[in-house]
Amino acid sequence: MIDRLGHGFANPALLQQALTHRSAGAPHNERLEFLGDALVNLFMAEALYQRWPQADEGALTRARAELVRESALAPIARALELGGRLTLGPGEMKSGGHRRDSILADALEAVVAAIYLDAGFETCRERVLPWFVQAMDALPPAHKVGKDAKTRLQEWLQGRQKPLPVYALLSESGEDHAKSFRVSCTLSQPPLTSEGEAGSRRAAEQLAAEEALRLLKADD
């Protein structure tokens, strides 16, 4: 865990609390999540302000929203392997809470707060910013921020007079309160198929479109 986070805790109890869901009893991570949410928003605002010196307030606000939303934080939590370290109550364990985007995103924010309380502001920013580099690099140009992946993919294809993508539901699994949808996005010109999986079909389609855009840019 230290290697993944890049931080060795002087007070390991802070990390333990950050990874404890309220379903497991107190002390849990909700207060840390509150503090971590503010820290992540500040770190992203500062990073975008420096990265995009010509962007206006609206573009910066939309870009920050993209970086701090639940579906953006959860993959970072997975990359840090937080799911396997979560302490959950029996009900959440049974329902696969360690895989749920909302729980993972909250835990990530709580870990950020734990690092801040353990080592201070500068160290926290130094540890946390690298986690978001890939997401920041994947942002569209400032003037296009705010357009979702399906819209951007459609515009990319229309601008080149290519057929529009076809989305298809590949599978649906999980109980009603924790559904998982896997969706494909298929392009005929150029021939390409990508997939996305999320807690709703709409979100899965967005992820599939995002992956298609990534593959198209890689081929350019």
CA gap 132, 42 in Å, rounded: 13
The CA-based diameter of the chain, rounded to the nearest angstrom, is: 58
pLDDT of residue 75 exceeding 70, the answer is yes
Q: What is the third-level CATH fold of 149-219?
A: Double Stranded RNA Binding Domain (3.30.160)
- Give the model's pLDDT for residue 220: 63
pLDDT interval class at 143 (50, 70, 90) = low
Among residues 37, 101, 205, 210, the one annotated as catalytic is 37
Amino acid occupying residue 138: A
Q: Is 109 annotated as a binding residue?
A: yes
Average pLDDT of the segment spanning 66-79: 91
Q: What percent of the chain has pLDDT over 70?
A: 95
Q: What is the pLDDT of residues 32-61, one digit of tens each?
A: 999 999 999 999 999 999 999 988 888 898
Q: State the average pLDDT for the chain.
A: 90
Rounded CA-CA distance 23/27 in Å is 10
Q: What fold characterizes domain 2-139?
A: Ribonuclease iii, N-terminal Endonuclease Domain; Chain A (1.10.1520)
The tokens describing 35, both together, are 């503090």
What is the reported pLDDT for 120? 97
Alpha-helix residue ranges (DSSP H) falling in 52-131: 57-68, 70-79, 90-94, 101-119, 121-128
pLDDT at residue number 173? 87
Q: What is the pTM of this model?
A: 0.67
Q: Is 136 helix (H, G, I), strand (E, B) or coil?
A: helix
Known catalytic residue at 81: no
Note if 155 is an active site residue.
no
**Domains 2-139 and 149-219 belong to one CATH topology:** no
Q: Which tens digits make up the pLDDT trace of 157-178? A: 999 999 999 999 999 987 766 6
What's the pLDDT band for 148 if we cut at 50, 70, 90?
confident
Percent composition of the chain: helix, strand, coil (DSSP 3-state, to 5): 65, 10, 25
| 195 assigned ligand-binding residue | no
pLDDT value, residue 215: 92
The C-alpha atoms of residue 5 and residue 15 are separated, in whole angstroms, by: 11
**What residue ranges do the domains of the chain occupy?**
2-139, 149-219
Q: Which of 71, 63, 74 is nearest to 108 (CA)?
A: 74
User: In this model, does residue 139 exceed pLDDT 90?
Assistant: no
Residue 111, pLDDT score: 97
Is 33 annotated among the ligand-binding residues? yes
Q: Is the pLDDT of residue 13 over 80?
A: yes
Query: How many other C-beta atoms can be found within 10 angstroms of the C-beta atom of residue 147?
Result: 14
User: Catalytic residue among 92, 109, 205, 211, which?
Assistant: 109
Could you report the per-residue pLDDT of 81-115, keeping only the tens digit for each?
999 999 999 988 888 888 889 899 999 999 999 99
